[in-house]
Amino acid sequence: MDRIAGIINLDHEQDVLDELTYFRCSAAVPFAGRYRMIDFAISNMANSRIDSVAVFARRKYRSLMDHLEQGKYWDLDRKRGGLFILPPDWNDPTDISKGDLQHFHNNIDFITRTLADYVVVTGTQNICNINYENVLREHKESGADVTVVYKKVEELYPEFRRSHKLDIDENQRVTAIHNDQHNNNVYMDMYIIEKNYLYGLIEDCIAHGCSHFFLDGIKGRLPDINIHAYEYSGGHALINSVESYYRHSFNLLDESEHDRLFKEESPILTKVKNEAPSKYLESSEVKNSLVANGCVIGGDVEDSILFRGVKVEKGAVIRNSVIMQRCEIDSNAVLENVILDKDCRISNGRTLVGAPEKPFVLAKRNTM
């Protein structure tokens, strides 16, 4: 029985979702009506029977702590292993590590003490539903040092500009990692690696003053190390901007897109909130929308996503918008192309209209 440990490395995830990341890191941004971005990464691990997960957090991680607790919603509140949120702990003046290697170095106990033989390292911006046991199987068969996961995308949307792309030979071996805007093999910011090999690379990177483990320790060693490419073919959304967030939110209104991310056999788990079922009043008119529990809807909602506990009064109109937890939309308010963060309140009769390509975003706890 091969065991895998997981590392969710948030160190390179810029907080680029504008108002949505004013108060939280992007991993904690709400998505798809009832989830946070990081739920996908953690659920994928839990569904792959990974029972030891470290989260390398650096900035604005408090809402992450609130959300993850000790991992109980993923059955990761364990004595052995479990979920660890690892914020910075750089009090050792003799520590010479830099960048994300500070995390790897400071938390080397996580790697050395785990009973797992393999480690999956991933970010949270590539939303997907992947089974790492399959990745491991292919990794072992390939005999590679590292196996990276990529998605062959059909269209090179703007969000892929910042992603690395892979050149792959006929044996699925990676021959180059670069930023070529015409390559559609998008590296998904996740890889699997043998624990001891990872440990050696970390030591070596620190000794050489590296500051970015993937770039310096893996990409930079091509072609000396054997990198295998695992093609992920399921549902995928890269969210690294308000625009990509907004577009992928609406993609979920398509049933087949939705079902590629949410599967019965590998469910995406999240913190349980015990909201009542949503209530649709006599006056409500809801069309083509995703609605989480705890909402009370009296107005019109179309082509939109309502998170948990949203109140929409009679006469209010919401179109092409994402409305997060516990927002209240008073009667006769009109919202179009808007993203409201948590706990916003839109008063009677107010109108907010953004552009379809650039939604109007309101930070949390605003009253307008």
Partner 1 sequence: MNKECVAMLLAGGQGTRLKSLTKQIAKPAVYFGGKYRIIDFPLSNCTNSGIDTVGVLTQYEPLILNDYIGIGSSWDLDRKYGGVSVLPPYMQSEGGGWYTGTANAIYRNIKFLNQYNPEHVLVLSGDHIYKMDYGKMLDYHKETGADATISVIQVPWEEASRFGLMNTDGEGVITEFDEKPPNPRSNLASMGVYIFRWDVLKQYLIEDNQNGESSNDFGKDIIPALLNDYRKLMAYKFEGYWKDVGTVDSLWEANMDLLKEEPELNLNDYSWRIYSKNPNQPAQYIAQSAKVSNSLINEGCRIYGTVDTSILFYGVRTEEGSLVKDSVIMPNVKIGKNATIHRAIISEGTVIEDGAVIGDPSPESEITLIAREGTVMAKSYMHETIK
Instruction: Provide the binding-site residues for partner 1, judged by CB under 8 A.
Output: 1, 3, 32-34, 72, 75, 78-80, 115, 253, 255, 258, 262, 265, 267-270, 272, 274-294, 296, 301, 305-306, 309
Which amino acid would we find at residue 80?
A: R
Shorter beta-carbon distance to partner 1: residue 54 or 210: 54
Residues composing the chain: 368
Q: How far is the CB of 274 from a copy of itself (least distance, A)?
A: 8
69 binds, among partner 1, a copy of itself, none (CB under 5 to 8 A by kind): a copy of itself
Residue from 53, 229, 50 nearest 146 by CA = 229
Residue 32 region, left (φ>0) first, then alpha (ψ -120 to 50), else beta? left
Residue number with CB closer to a copy of itself (63 or 125): 63
- For partner 1, give the closer residue by CB, 203 or 275: 275
Exposure string over 173-200, b if 16+ CB within 10 A, otherwise e = ebebbeeeeebbbbbbbbbbbbbeebbe
* Nearer Cβ to partner 1 (61/73): 73
Q: Any bridge partners for residue 168, and if so which? A: 174
- Tell me the β-bridge partners of 227: 146
Q: What residue 38 binds from partner 1, a copy of itself, none (CB within 5 to 8 A, per partner kind)?
A: none
Choice between 270 and 321, CB closer to partner 1:
270
Nearest 5°: the CA angle 60, 64, 69 is 145
Cβ 279 to partner 1 shortest distance, Å: 5
Structure tokens, 270: 């999240």
How far, in Å, CA of 29 to CA of 26, rounded?
A: 5
CA distance 75 to 194: 25
Nearest-angstrom CA–CA distance, 137 and 183: 26
Residues that bind a copy of itself (CB under 8 A): 22-23, 60, 62-63, 65, 69-70, 72, 77, 79, 85-89, 91-92, 272, 274
Give whichever of 144 and 291 is closer to partner 1, judged by the CB atom: 291
Distance between CA atoms of 348 and 326, rounded to whole angstroms? 17
